[in-house]
Structure 1
């Protein structure tokens, strides 16, 4: 049995793509997942699976189930507990005591981007915001506000050819805490 975290992008935002967390939990149960737990309304689901599947296979399975049940597209990124642990323990921006946690985010990619795409992206410059790519995760530091940053999900998806979703640092830490308490 393996525990995973599904990160759904863009649900329950501005009255669009609404999914009740109770309905989402039922959908996950119908997919034969157990220990299903949601965290806040933005689409964070912790679950276990007896069947051995890759995170990409799980992402696509959940995506298709949401499309079939609710009738709209929702990008889904799935991570293992160990992947989330690596993210939680290795934020390079937190090594600088002047950086505030509220200014840190992580963009999760569904899969590893190509080396060429990463190299091209690392040449991008933004005076107020910065990022570091670590495998299929992008650590962000936004000095003004994430919502004003040009480093959005869409930006990274286009540049890296990988579905993406972003969480603030506080949510990342809470998801990790919930995961380790579930095991």
Structure 2
């Protein structure tokens, strides 16, 4: 069995995309995923499966489309990949609440940070399948716009750390 973390895009954010986390667990279990658990109400689910990443993503997206009536993006990482993302955080000296990992499907192109606009004092670094962003003054007033965010989903490093910790308990 492979430990996975699925990160849903635009779920339970600012009153949009309401999805009870108990429902997300039920959907995961209906797909045969084992030991499904959620973490905070922002579309994070950890589970085990023998299926490859692409099949896991497709299965969840299909169930979410049936439930919500619209496409919901799902980014999937193995437990090991999530732990690696945490270890590669280039801003590890900064508070986890001020650093995000913007997860995307596939490999990031080398020009992924080209076209970023609105930078004041934020810092953006290229990862493997994520961009790391430091918001020294927090995210509330940022004008930062990242073209890759249209196909990804961000989690702060506190959340990434907790998800990696939960995922590490899976076989």
TM, length-normalised to structure 1: 0.83
> Which of the pair has the greater relative contact order for Cα pairs under 8 Å at 6+ separation?
2
Specify which of 91, 97, 106 is matched with residue 101 of structure 2: 106
For residue 148 of structure 2, the aligned residue among 147, 153, 156 is 156
RMSD between superposed Cα atoms in Å: 2.1
Change (3 A) 1:143 1:68: same
Q: Kindly indicate whether the alpha-carbon contact (under 8 Å) linking 1:106 and 1:138 is maintained by their aligned counterparts in 2.
A: yes
Structure 2 contact 5–46 (Cα < 8 Å) conserved: yes
The within-5 A match list for 1:33-182 is 33-51=33-51, 53=52, 55-94=53-92, 97=93, 99-115=94-110, 117-118=111-112, 120-121=114-115, 126-151=119-144, 155-157=147-149, 163-182=151-170
CA apart distance, 1:121: 4.7
Partners of 1:18 and 1:133 in 2: CA distance = 31
Distance 2:25 2:87 in 1: 28
CA–CA distance in 1 between the matches of 2:113 and 2:16? 35
Secondary structure of 1:12's partner? Answer: coil
How many angstroms apart in 2 are the aligned matches of 1:70 and 1:118?
30
SS in 2 for 1:92: coil
Could you list the structure 1 runs, at least 4 aligned residues long, displaced by more than 6 angstroms after superposition.
Answer: none
Q: Map of 1:14-25 to 2, 5 A cutoff?
A: 14-25=14-25
Aligned residue pair count = 171
Structure 2 counterpart SS, 1:86: helix
